[in-house]
A = this chain, B = another copy of it.
Amino acid sequence: MSVQVAVQTEDFDVADCYKTLAKHASCGAVATFSGLVRDDTGDLQALELEHYPQMTEKALQGIVAQAQQRWPLAAVTVIHRVGYLRVNEQIVFVGVASGHRDAAFAATSFIMDYLKTKAPFWKKEHYAEGSRWVAAKDSDTVAANRWE
């Protein structure tokens, strides 16, 4: 089982991430999720991502370890960016290689749901007329709770 977890300001290359996951011979199934900066208003200048450095990677490793206990996984990659990001930039990548597609889908979805509700990241939106912290969504809590 190969695990890669990174929290970084630099962008990441989904092609490299995919290659690393797909080279696990006999894995059969690779599921990925990429989250990008979305601009619902058309006015977003930047998205700022704050995190709690000493806790973040530990939290992500813990979430991956829980996924491994639930499903047979060959490889997992989780990358989350921090700092200032512009519209359509990549924020997060989660990729899972497994022998079976149901495990790959479920683990990818599980890791995203837990990351959204249990990893110490906070988003702030910057507009020309000011900035605002993004509020946590009830739908994310509901999504995370369905795994319990």
Interface residues of A (CB under 8 A from B): 13-15, 18, 22-23, 25-40, 87-88, 90, 99, 101-102, 104-105, 108-109, 112, 139, 143
Give the 3 A-B CB pairs with smallest separation, nearest first. A15-B15, A28-B38, A30-B34
* Contact partners of A101 in chain B: CB under 8 A: 33, 35, 112
On whether the beta carbons of B36 and A105 are closer than 8 Å, the reply is: no
The answer to whether A29 touches B25 (Cβ under 8 A) is: no
Cβ contacts under 8 Å, A32 to chain B: 30-33
Q: List 27 A-B contacts (CB under 8 A).
A: A13-B15, A14-B15, A14-B18, A14-B22, A15-B18, A18-B18, A22-B34, A22-B36, A25-B39, A26-B39, A26-B87, A27-B36, A28-B35, A28-B37, A29-B33, A29-B34, A30-B32, A31-B31, A31-B32, A31-B108, A32-B32, A32-B33, A33-B104, A38-B99, A102-B139, A105-B105, A105-B108
Separation of A105 and B109 alpha carbons in the complex (Å): 7
- The oligomer's copy count stands at 2
Bound-state CA distance A27–B14 (Å) is: 16
